[in-house]
Amino acid sequence: MLLIRCPVCAMDRPELEFRHAGQAHVARPADPGAVDDAAWAAYLYLRDNPKGVVAERWRHVHGCGRFFNALRHTVSDRILATYPAGASRPEVAP
């Protein structure tokens, strides 16, 4: 079981208090009417799938209920950092 540090509660909590909520830092086009279908489809459906460190949204659904972001290594499954939603991705050594 992973221990995940919720940046809102400021406590380490077990993974089963959380829900994964997809890739982080996916920006919605500011003017959807101005992008073509391919760009809109890319925004809706295309996600990275790297081997290594990914930035993901997680939600502390059985605690404070808030969304935050986490850096997770897809090989080791280790959570390397958690940070508030809206903050920029921190630098960490993988």
Partner 1 sequence: MSATEPHPWLAGALVPGRFGAAAGEPVRLGTRACELVQVLARRDGDAALQAAIRAAGGPDLPPPGHAAQGERMAALWTQPRGWLIQAGPDAGLARRLADACGPAAAVVEQTHGRCVFTLEGAHARAVLARLCRVDLHPRAFGPGRVAVTPLSEIAAVIHQTGAAPGFDIIVASSYARAVAGMLAAAAAPIGYQVGGDQMGGDQMGGDQMGGDRVD
- Report if residue 8 touches partner 1, rule: CB under 8 A: yes
Which one of 19, 47, 62, 89 is in contact with partner 1 (CB under 8 A)? 62
CA–CA dist 29, 32 (Å, integer)? 6
CA–CA dist 54, 39 (Å, integer)? 22
What type of residue is 46? L
Find the binding residues for Zn ion in span 7-36 (CB under 5 A). Answer: 8-9
User: Which parts of the chain are beta strand (E)?
Assistant: 3-6, 11-14, 19-23, 53-59, 67-73, 79-84
- Report if residue 5 touches partner 1, rule: CB under 8 A: no
CB of 49 to Zn ion, least distance (A): 27
Which of these ranges, 20-28, 55-63, 72-80, 84-92, lies near Zn ion under the rule CB under 5 A?
Answer: 55-63
What type of residue is 8? V
Site residues, Zn ion (CB under 5 A) = 6, 8-9, 60, 63-64
